[in-house]
Homo-oligomer: A and B are copies of this chain.
Amino acid sequence: MAAEHRSGDGPRRGFASDNAATIHPEVLDAIASVNLGHAFGYGHDSYTHEVERRFEQAFGPGSRAFFVFNGTGANVLCLRATCRPWEAAICSEWAHLNTDEGGAPEAIAGVKLLPAASVDGRLTAAAVAAMLGREGDEHAVQPRVLSLTQSTELGTVYTLDELLELAALAHARGMLVHIDGARLANACAALGLSLREGSFDAGADLVSFGGTKNGLLAGEAVVVRDPALAQALPYLRKQSLQLASKMRFLAAQFDALLRDQLWLRSAAHANAMAARLAAAVGPLEGVRITRPVQANGVFAIIPATVRAALQERFDFYIWDEATGEVRWMCSWDTEPEDVDAFAEAVAECLQVCT
């Protein structure tokens, strides 16, 4: 798919992360195309308003999008918009919120996280229900948000039914549902759902919709449907250090992402590359795929010596030092040739090292 802007012997592409990828050329073109004349700052320009309307079309009537810089910003904004000081968020113990936001939920939003056990990154209704026992007890934080990462940090995807069940449980307790959608596009592509179907129609109340991992330079959107949340967000976005002054250039990136379903084309491609990779290396003796491959990441355990040899040639991360589990991420610009070369290298290293 991305073949036209790739030189055959060009710069190396690895499997470290989807944020190691480039900016999609349609996105860069969109930025350049609005780089003319003056525009009011901070989103008070007509072009940004137009892109915001495009979001409303994508996520459903009454929804409102607020563009921010990065995923930590989007997630923390969602916590700040929903939790009063004594309220808490339930999330998976693997949630990016819990493990990789540098303590921002606690230090910036002042919100306690209640991490629950998960199956391959997916929370179960039983695990969530087990955390709801202290309603009205002033000594305990009161759960207010259920935060679901979709697709998950472990490359898995909640089904629509799972989302609906979890949302029903949360709503019955007066809780809101947040989707950490840094890779929502990959999940929707995998499930064959529109953005609306995969978020608000699936029970979400707030969405961190990721762009950076899907081909943007930098940009995420907080999307909400509740007018009270929408009223708070302008103030919170500013105060949370997430209000871009030259907003039109954030808007342009999302313009490109929504136009001609670039989000879907890119995400589906990345998913396909992960599937290709899993198919190529899964059968190899010495490779154990550890998680269902449902989006754009492959998790596996390979011998330590193989891993070391492979890392000489390709970038990727060790996910769990204790078990030696590794993570191989595909992105919008991963080429089939990249996958095939990597799979070959895995096979070679296995032969040499074991």
Contacts and interface: CB of A to CB of B under 8 A. Distances in A.
Contacts of A12: 37-38
Given A39-B20, A232-B84, A217 B240 contact: no
Interface string A6-48: 0000111110110111110100100110011111111000000
B241 A240 contact: yes
Nearest to A11: B37
Interface stretch (A49-57, A68-76, A146-154): A68-76
Interface stretch (A120-128, A132-140, A165-173, A344-352): A132-140
A237 interface: yes
Contacts of A315: 38, 40
B11 A38 contact: yes
A321 interface: yes
Contact of A37 (B22, B25, B32): B22
A238 to B, nearest CB: 4
Given A70-B245, A104-B241, A241-B108, A13 B37 contact: yes
A354 interface: no
Contacts of A192: none
A218 to B, nearest CB: 6
B69 A41 contact: no
A249 interface: yes
A250 B112 CA distance: 30
A243 B70 contact: yes
Interface in A171-229: 212-213, 217-218
Contacts of A236: 85-86
Given A28-B32, A40-B16, A238-B138, A249 B104 contact: no
Nearest to A182: B245
Nearest to A14: B38
Nearest to A68: B241
Interface stretch (A94-102, A269-277, A281-289): A94-102
Given A103-B141, A139-B102, A239-B86, A244 B321 contact: no
A307 interface: no
Nearest to A213: B245
Contacts of A69: 69-70, 218, 241-242, 244
A235 B16 contact: no
Given A37-B11, A249-B218, A86 B107 contact: yes
Given A86-B235, A133-B321, A10 B37 contact: yes
A295 interface: no
A235 B110 contact: no
Nearest to A74: B241
Given A19-B246, A36-B22, A239 B88 contact: no
Interface in A270-318: 315
Contact of A106 (B102, B106, B133): B106
A80 interface: yes
Contacts of A42: 138-139
6 contacts: A20-B40, A69-B244, A84-B232, A86-B107, A104-B238, A142-B235
Interface of A: 10-14, 16-17, 19-23, 25, 28, 31-32, 35-42, 69-73, 76, 80, 84-86, 88, 99-108, 110-112, 130, 133, 138-142, 212-213, 217-218, 232, 234-246, 249-250, 315, 321-322, 333
